[in-house]
Chains A and B, each alone.
Chain A
């Protein structure tokens, strides 16, 4: 199985801050990675696929980068509605595996 190591597991930030979340894969996964946002009591919402392609309707302050084994999700200017938990998911090979999640909290 491919292990996805996501960091940090939590962070505190203020509105307007730039936030970066990292996922590292235990082996190369090309660009077969997606990022999700999950709010309490809701299903995850896909933000980015193919490592850097923004899902239609997702604000441009979200961006993704990376390929191979190291990936980042960046929120350029944190907004109140962005406080949530974020997950990466690799779909390069079965079983699909998620990162452990990053909870973004208000400072």
Chain B
């Protein structure tokens, strides 16, 4: 059974880089069938797609964050990662990692991890 688990610091200072890792279990990441991505949700607000990566390393980012976002994958460890640079208070959110089957909206979600940007 597929499981995704986010990990990383829960508190990041303004102007620093937010770094999160998603560990995938119950399935291989080295598959043409899936994209791996990140979605976030500020407290009390709606959902925002951050970006996705294909097993080949091809990435797709939300233009609203494009210059600050990097998503990478390490299929040997069954992990993928998110880096968001120059964070501000508005980046405070629950961050979810997701698996998106090709041609279908995301189906597998991690439980989410709250990241607070504060000094």
Residues on A close to B: CB < 8 A? 1, 32-34, 36, 42-46, 49-50, 55, 87, 89, 91, 94-101
A20: shortest Cβ distance to chain B, in Å?
Answer: 20
Residues of chain B at interface, number, CB under 8 A: 21
A65: shortest Cβ distance to chain B, in Å?
Answer: 16
Can you give 12 contacting A-B residue pairs, CB < 8 Å?
A32-B103, A44-B109, A49-B105, A89-B106, A91-B104, A94-B60, A95-B60, A95-B64, A96-B49, A98-B46, A98-B47, A101-B47
Secondary structure dominating the interface of B = loop
In the complex, are the beta carbons of A43 and B110 less than 8 A apart?
A: yes
Given known pairs A50-B104, A87-B47, the reply for A95 and B63 (CB within 8 Å) is yes
Query: Which of B61, B104, B105, B112 is packed against the most chain A CB atoms within 10 Å?
Result: B105
In the complex, are the beta carbons of B47 and A95 less than 8 A apart?
A: no
Chain B contacts of A42 at CB under 8 A? 111
Chain A residue with minimal CB distance to B64? A95
CA distance in complex: A98, B106 (Å): 12
In the complex, are the beta carbons of A34 and B104 less than 8 A apart?
A: yes
In the complex, are the beta carbons of A43 and B112 less than 8 A apart?
A: yes
Instruction: List the 4 shortest-distance A-B pairs measured between CB atoms, nearest first.
Output: A34-B105, A43-B109, A96-B49, A95-B62
CA distance in complex: A9, B64 (Å): 24
Chain B residue with minimal CB distance to A33? B105
In the complex, are the beta carbons of A95 and B104 less than 8 A apart?
A: no
